[in-house]
Amino acid sequence: MTAGGRTFDRRLFRAGGAVPPEERGWPSFRGAINEAMREEMRRDPSVFQMGEDIAGAPPFGVTTGLAAEFGTERVRDTPCSEVAVVGAAVGAAIGGMRPIVEFQFGDFLSVAMDQLTHQAAMLRYLTGGQVTVPLVLRLPCGGGQGAGSQHSQALYSWFAHAPGIKVALPATSADAKGLMRAAIRDDNPVLFFEHKMLYRTRWPVPAEFKDPDYLIPFGRAAVRRAGSDVTVVATLVTLHHTLAAAEGLAAEGVSVEVIDPRTLVPLDGDTIVASVRKTGRLLVVDEAYLTCSIQSEVIALVTERAFGALRAAPRRLGNPGVPVPFPPLLEDAVLPGPADIAAAIREMVLS
C-alpha cells in the first residue's frame, strides 16, 4: 500500500493542480501541523510560538489563523535573527514554557548551532536532570521547488550527531499531527523537519486522532509496504518516490518492503533489522548528503546487527555531495527520484 493511501508526484505539486474529489476531506500536511499546534496551545497555556512573520503572513501558511485565536503574545513575530530567537526560546524553555520556533528555512539553523548543540542539547545532562529544555524547532527542508542551494538542504544528519536532541521526519498528515503532539510534550529539544514539497499534499488521518492524547511515539518506524525481495528505508519525500517505484516494480515481479523511520533520533533499528533479515537486501534513500548521512548510519546499524542475513551489499541513494542546483532539471539530477530508486532495486534484485 502507499503511505496514507495515496501516491505522490512532485510534478503535480509543482503544477499546483486541483485537489482530486476523493482527497478534499483529507487534511493537508501543513493543516495537520497547524491543527496539532492549535490543540496543544488550547490544552497547555505554557505553549507559545516564535518566528519570522508567523503572526501575519506565514511564508508556508502553517501558522495561519493561530494569532487570531491566541493573540500576538503567544504567536510572536520575531526579527530576522536566528541566534536571538533560539537563544530566547532556550531561556523560555528553561523557565517553564514550551516554545515552538519556526524557521522560514531549516538551512539557517546552522546560524544558531551554539544555542542548540552546546546549550539546549546539553543542559539536562549537565544539570543532572534538574533542568529540562522542552523546545520544538520547526524546520522547512528539502529540494524539489527550485529554491536554490541555500534553501533546499536536508541537514538532519548533522543534528542526529549531537546527543540530547531528538529528530522527527514526518511524511504524512497523520504523522505530522501525531509526531508534533509528541514533540510539544517532550521535555527535550526536538527538531521537526518538514519537507516543503509535502505542505500542500493531502492524506487521511485515522479516527484515533480525535483523542487529544493520541500520539505517535518517537522511535517507532512504520512499514509502509510489505515485501520479500528488498528492504528500502526512505524518509520524507523520498518515501513517496520509493512507494511509486515499488508499485511499478511489482508489475515486474519484484516485491519491495518500504520502511519509514518517522524519527531519526531515536531510530527504530529493530524494525529495520527485522525487515532486512526477511528480505536479505537493503537500500537506503534520502536527500541528505551521502557522507556521514542517515543512509550511512542505517547501513552501519544493519551490518552490525544482521550482516549474516545480507545476500547483497547494501546500497544508498542521496545527494552525492554537491549544492542543490537551482534549475529543476539539474535539481532532479542531484536528488533521488522514482526512476533512480527503481533502477537501484533492479540492480540489487535482478543482477
Q: Which amino acid does the sequence have at 227? A: G
Q: What is the number of other CB atoms lying within 10 angstroms of the CB of residue 163?
A: 10
Locate 123 and state its grid cell: 543542559
Name the residue among 140, 149, 81, 86 with its Cα closest to residue 117: 86
Which residue, chain included where needed, has cell 500500500? 1
- Joined grid coordinates for residue 323: 549544492
- Work out the burial of residue 296: count CB atoms within 10 Å of its CB; fewer than 13 is exposed, 13-18 middle, 19 or more buried: middle
Q: What share of the chain is helix, strand, coil (3-state, %, to 5)?
A: 45, 15, 40
Place of cell 533520533: 265
φ and ψ of 126, to 5 deg: -65, -25
Query: What's the rounded Cα separation, in Å, for the pair 293 and 283?
Result: 14
Considering just the CA atoms, what is the radius of gyration of the chain in Å?
A: 20
Helix (H) or strand (E) holding 163: none
Cβ contact 123:94 at 8 Å: yes
Supply the residues annotated as catalytic.
151
Find cell 501558522 and name the residue.
Answer: 63
**Which uninterrupted H or E stretch holds 28?**
none
- Assigned C-alpha cell, 344: 537501484
Q: How many CA atoms lie within 13 A of 14 on its CB side?
A: 11
Phi first, then psi: give them for residue 163, nearest 5 degrees: -65, 140
- SS3 call for 213: coil
Whose cell is 476531506? That residue is 25
